[in-house]
Each structure stands twice: as structure tokens, then as C-alpha cells.
Structure 1
């Protein structure tokens, strides 16, 4: 399972992944912009997953940026945390999911305090050809410190798919059961069983208040017939 967390506690999504308009010009946004719950607050930034710091530097329009490489289920991912006010990690350093790596800022090409966050299916390269929508992997309401049991978006989607499959299987089993029940013939007690049940009531074995359960009547009558055959005599009615 690809398990990323939101790098900002209780973040606000201020700009989604994909096409957007900046100063009247359309541009492709290869990540998402996240702000803290209080506008302008320089919130802590946390590692979205376990990994190794691959960059910690000033990089063009990103400003102060940290990038982390992750190996998850045999696949390589790289996350990008840009416009930082400062960072507290160095290249080659191993970090754990939820570990503080910097402070939100507005360095580089930025119009306000926020975090530009990217997830790459593979390593980061110029032009960001491997960038994927982070909102497919994270939930905005999660935190290692305060909400450790919160599902990430990838966990939520996987659980949702499992529930859907179980519902399909349950629906199919229900149909099969209904078809089987429709094809079953209603069993009726044999006349000899009816006669023996009448004999039980007539001779005080049953006072007529016993549950009229077909299986019970049939089984009791069958035992009686076996006794009758063994004793080679007939019960009188």
C-alpha cells in the first residue's frame, strides 16, 4: 500500500493539481498548494513518508526546497516540499514519516505563505513528467501527532474498493441463494406421518400445544414407524 500523509497539519488546499490561471495566464500546476489553518501562519512541514533526503537547497522558482526519495513496495517515489522559509534536514539524511523537515514560507515564486507539494511516481526530473496528483494519495485531515489513526487517501481508496468487491460478492451469493430457494419444492408430510401424529395426540403423547414443526413431526413419526415395524404390530387410532 502507498501510504503518504499530508505534510501540513489540518491543511487548507489553496490550489489543486492541474491547469490553473495565474495573472491571466494558464499554466500547468504539477503539485498542490497547501496553507495552514490560519492564513499567513508559517506552519511546520512534515515528511510525507519514510525516505532519504535527496535535495535540500535553493532551487529556482521553488525557493528553499526539500526533496525526499521513498522506496515503497519495491517502487520509487519522490516528494517535493517547496517555498520553505527554512529546512532542518540535509542531503543523505534518513527521515521517518511525520518527522519535521522544515517551516512553511514564501521563498521563490510565491504569492503568499504556503507549501507547494509534489509527489512523483519515480524520481523528480526537470519538467516534472512523473508528477501525480497528491490528493489521490493523502487526506488533508491527518497528523502523526494528533490523528495517528486517520486514514490516508490511498488507504481510504483501497478500503473503499475492498468494500465494493465484498458487496458485489454478497449480491451474487444472494442471487444464487434466491434462485436455489425458488427451485426447491415444498416438502409435504406423508399420509402415514399425518396418521401417526394424530395417534400421538389421541393417546396423550401430544396435547396439541407443541410447536407444529414439520421436521419434528416427521422425525417423531418416522421413529414410531420403525418401532411399529420392529414390534410387527400397528398402533390403533
Structure 2
């Protein structure tokens, strides 16, 4: 299989190649959609020469690259870009940044529409092929965390836990209010409650335990 790489890191496959349902029926989707958030860099899927870097109808801002691989010609299309950083005629290497993911043209949310053509791009996209047969999405693109992302998330959770424990430590224990003190003391004397945290919420299972203890105390 031809050596193309995913043009996006840390993205999700949100729309596949082929027929897809839209609001008013079905349409043929001649590429794939890769979505993410923020200013996500877009990379050349393979080495080649820039053939287009312009606004193009419903595609919005596009970059197209012509590739010659094993004697065969391919062309990739990167659409809905926020901006590009290459010029027509420029040679690019595989993995070189060519633009930023965006929401231009007929797009509903920030994403990259990516096409691979067996031959040069043509109006109507008769040469479009399924990019997923040529590229492999990284673990991040499948929604999995990298080790660095996992460690970052774990550290954040620990920070939040420590902050919560600190706040709990400085909150004074609240006693039963005068209105309910007599009833609370009676419950404690009957062994129905342990007397702690009189103003906390009671879960359903705790309430069930209290009812059971009350029932047993009257046997």
C-alpha cells in the first residue's frame, strides 16, 4: 500500500468515505473528516509539490499536493483550512506543516476534509479513493490517551483531590441547630445515628439503615 501518513494528530474520524446521511437526504462523501479543537496543524500526507493553495467554493481554504510515488501520480486535498503556510509550486516533505485546521467553506464545525485521488484532482472527484485504505490513524486519533496525556490528566486529578481535602480540612464540623438538637440527640441515644454530621445530606441507603435501626429498637 502507498506510504501516506495521517495529516492530523490527536483528531477523531467523524465522517467516513462514501455515502452518508445529511439533513435532506444522502450525499457521496469523497473524503474523510478529521475533527479536533484549537489551532490544530495540518501536515503533508506524503512528499510532493503544492498545486493549489487558495479558497475553492464549498471546500473553503484548500491546499492540494501532487505526489509521485512508485511511478504513480496521486493528489491529496486538504479542505476547510483556517489558513495555509505554503505556496503553489513549493516542494514539501512528508509530515511538513502546510496549514491550520479550520471551519471555512461549507463546514459545520472545525475539522479537516481530506481526500486522496488516484491521479490528479478533477471536478466531480472521479478519482477519489478511501483515504482510510492508505493512512493509519494514531492512537490519539482513535480517542485513546498517549502516556504524556495520561500522566498530565492523572496529575491534574491529584491536584484537585489535594485541593478538595484541604478545603474539607478547614471546614468546621457543624452541630445540629437548636430547632432539631433535641431530636438529633434522641436519635443518637437510640443508636439510630452515630451523631456525626447532622447537617449533611442522607442517602437513601443511610435512611434505610436508620429506619431498620428504629424498627429494631421498638421490638
- Aligned equivalent of 1:48: 45
SS where residue 4 of structure 1 aligns? coil
Aligned to 2:5: 5
Please list, as runs of the form range in 1=range in 2, the aligned pairs for 1:1-237 lying within 5 A after superposition.
2-36=2-36, 40-141=37-138
Larger radius of gyration: 1
Gap runs ≥5 in structure 2: 141-219
Contact residue 45 and residue 101 of structure 1 kept, 8 A: yes
1:35 CA drift (Å): 1.1
Q: TM-score, normalised by structure 2?
A: 0.62
Could you list the per-position Cα deviations for residues 50-79 of structure 1 after superposition, in whole angstroms to 9, with x for gaps in the alignment? 000000000000000000000000000000
Shift of 1:22: 1.4
**Would the aligned equivalents of 1:31 and 1:131 in 2 still touch at CA under 8 Å?**
yes
- Structure 1: 4+ residue segments shifted above 4 A: none
Shift of 1:2: 1.1
Give the length in aligned residue pairs.
140
Q: Is the 8 A contact 1:16 1:29 kept in 2?
A: yes
Q: CA deviation at 1:11?
A: 2.1
Aligned partners of 2:72, 2:139: CA distance in 1, in Å? 24
- Computed over aligned residues only, the root mean square deviation of the Cα atoms, in angstroms, reads 1.3
CA contact (8 A) 1:9 1:142 kept: no
Q: Distance in 2 between matches of 1:128 and 1:24?
A: 22
Shift in Å, 1:132 = 0.1
* In structure 1, distance between residues paired with 2:109 and 2:31: 16
- For structure 1, the residue ranges without an aligned partner over 5 or more in a row are 144-237
